[in-house]
Structure 1
Amino acid sequence: MPMIPRSTDLHHMHGATFTPLASPRRGSQETSVWRVALAADAPATPHQVTREEIFVIEAGRVSVELGGERFEAGVGDVVVVPPATDFALAAIGGGLARALVCLPVGGQARLVDGTTFTPPWAE
């Protein structure tokens, strides 16, 4: 499908809102793309991914914990998360943060408790 209409399907998890843009369910075959909005002061959710995940920060500022390092990212910055690397992202500065996110189809999230799942916004 060369054009995918705007999604009204929202997913809420751990203080974040996910809006699917492109995914196999929505017509893409190789790459899932979504927008995530991180609520101000919502705690970060540590996890890993099974495939490389890319965040393009569109609004606000985020605190990033990635592979034992901690740094901040703002509008226009890109965060690249390698597979099987501990990772957490949270909005900072008292406001909402938003990012465009890309993950190859088939990528999964793995929570600290070992739960592995395909995010519904990436299916």
Structure 2
Amino acid sequence: MPVVRSVDAQVHEIHNARFTSMIRPGTGSAELCVWQTEIAPDSVGVAHRILGEEAFVLLTGEVTITIDGESAPLTPGDAAVAPANSMIAIANTTPAPAVLLVTVGVGFAAELPDGSTFTPPWAS
């Protein structure tokens, strides 16, 4: 039975956020990727187009998620789903970090503002 211990999870930092990879092909998953994202206080994430569906559950803190130009605040326990090919951005304008649980399908990628495609290492 594949178990990923928190002390063994890979951590990646980019754009004022920390991504802790939990479930992905590299840890034994065939179809799903799950990670935690910690968003630094007073930061706005880079808007990008996701090339697969992405689901979010806010665990702690507060964020505003924007999906295709429509923004909504999230508080702990709230969830959001962004459809494939949507533009998304997440902002944490509070003085405390925010933590989300995120899941996507294997093969997930995003298109960055410069048009390049990015496959996150925490999802591969």
Report the alpha carbon displacement of residue 65 of structure 1 after superposing the two structures with TM.
1.3
Query: Which runs of structure 2 are paired with 1:1-80 in the superposition (5 Å)?
Result: 1-6=1-6, 7-80=8-81
Give the TM-score normalised by structure 1: 0.94
Once residues 33 and 89 of structure 1 are traced to their aligned partners in structure 2, the CA distance between those partners, rounded to angstroms, is 17
Which residue of 1 is the match for residue 112 of structure 2?
111
SS in 2 for 1:10: strand
Give the TM-score normalised by structure 2: 0.93
2:44, 2:93 within 8 Å by CA — same for their partners in 1? no
Call closer, same or farther: CA 1:46–1:11 in 2, change over 3 Å.
same
Report the alpha carbon displacement of residue 5 of structure 1 after superposing the two structures with TM.
2.7
1:53, 1:80 within 8 Å by CA — same for their partners in 2? yes
1:12, 1:18 within 8 Å by CA — same for their partners in 2? yes
Unpaired runs of at least 5, structure 1: none
Once residues 31 and 8 of structure 1 are traced to their aligned partners in structure 2, the CA distance between those partners, rounded to angstroms, is 16
1:4, 1:27 within 8 Å by CA — same for their partners in 2? no
Report the alpha carbon displacement of residue 95 of structure 1 after superposing the two structures with TM.
1.0
Report the alpha carbon displacement of residue 63 of structure 1 after superposing the two structures with TM.
1.1
Q: Deviations over 1:53-82 (max 9, x none)?
A: 001000000011111111111100001011
Q: Aligned-pair RMSD on alpha carbons?
A: 1.1
SS in 2 for 1:121: helix
Unpaired runs of at least 5, structure 2: none
Once residues 83 and 95 of structure 2 are traced to their aligned partners in structure 1, the CA distance between those partners, rounded to angstroms, is 28
